[in-house]
């Protein structure tokens, strides 16, 4: 599988599609999910062209991985959901029902999120 440069998150990174940005560092961008599943629902994406967690974990360099996971933690802190709790998740491939083929982590919080898998 090759990276689709026309996926929606690639367009957001290029500034072709608007997003509600909440955080950015050298290697990562975070913005609000367009269809929030919780009061706080933020997506964190690497700036590099990685298809999924599988691709990112295997091929990103150390700087990219460090900056990405620092961004995830900062987003949760900035959203004020550390004390009440939150969930991070990333869907990969068919069984994970990944829809957008650019690696992203969902940060969800602001309510009791219920059981881990429906
Ligand atoms: P996935 O199923 O791939 O893990 O999740 C993709 C997520 O991207 C969904 O939660 C969906 O609401 C979100 N999404 C899809 N298109 C857009 C968009 O154009 N802007 C934003 N902010 N989120 C989007």
9 CA distance to ligand 1 centroid (A)? 8
Nearest residue by C-alpha to atom 15 in ligand 1: 34
Is residue 59 pLDDT above 80, yes or no?
Answer: yes
Question: Residue 76 has which token pair?
Answer: 């949760």
| Nearest C-alpha neighbor of 30 from the set 74, 63, 66, 61 | 74
Q: Which residue matches tokens 């689709």?
A: 4
Q: Residues of the chain with pLDDT > 90: what percent?
A: 97
Q: What number does the ligand 1 atom closest to the CA of 101 have?
A: 3
For 9-14, which contacts have Cβ atoms below 8 Å and span 24 or more sequence positions? Answer: 9/43, 9/45, 9/100, 9/102, 9/104, 10/49, 10/102, 12/45, 13/45, 13/47
pLDDT of amino acid 117 = 85
Q: What is the pTM of this model?
A: 0.98
Tell me, using a 6 A CB cutoff, whether residue 98 lines ligand 1.
Answer: yes
CB contact set of 75 (below 8 Å; sequence gap of 6+): 22, 23, 30, 42, 44, 107
Range list of β-strands (E), the chain: 21-24, 28-32, 40-46, 86-89, 105-109
- What is the pLDDT confidence band of residue 118, given thresholds at 50, 70 and 90? confident
- pLDDT averaged over the chain? 97
pLDDT tens digit sequence for 14-33 = 999 999 999 999 999 999 99
Stretch 51-77: mean pLDDT, rounded?
98
């Amino acid at each position: 599988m090759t990276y689709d440069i026309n996926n929606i998150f690639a367009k957001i990174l290029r500034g072709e599609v608007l997003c509600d940005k909440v955080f950015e560092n050298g290697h990562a961008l975070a913005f609000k999910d367009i269809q929030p599943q919780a009061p706080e629902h933020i997506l964190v994406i690497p700036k590099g062209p990685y298809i999924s967690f599988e691709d990112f974990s295997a091929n990103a360099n150390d700087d990219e991985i460090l900056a990405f996971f620092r961004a995830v933690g900062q987003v949760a802190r900035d959203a004020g959901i550390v004390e009440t709790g939150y969930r991070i998740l990333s869907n990969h491939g068919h069984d994970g029902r990944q829809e957008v083929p650019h690696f992203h982590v969902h940060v969800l919080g602001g309510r009791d999120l219920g059981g881990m898998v429906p």
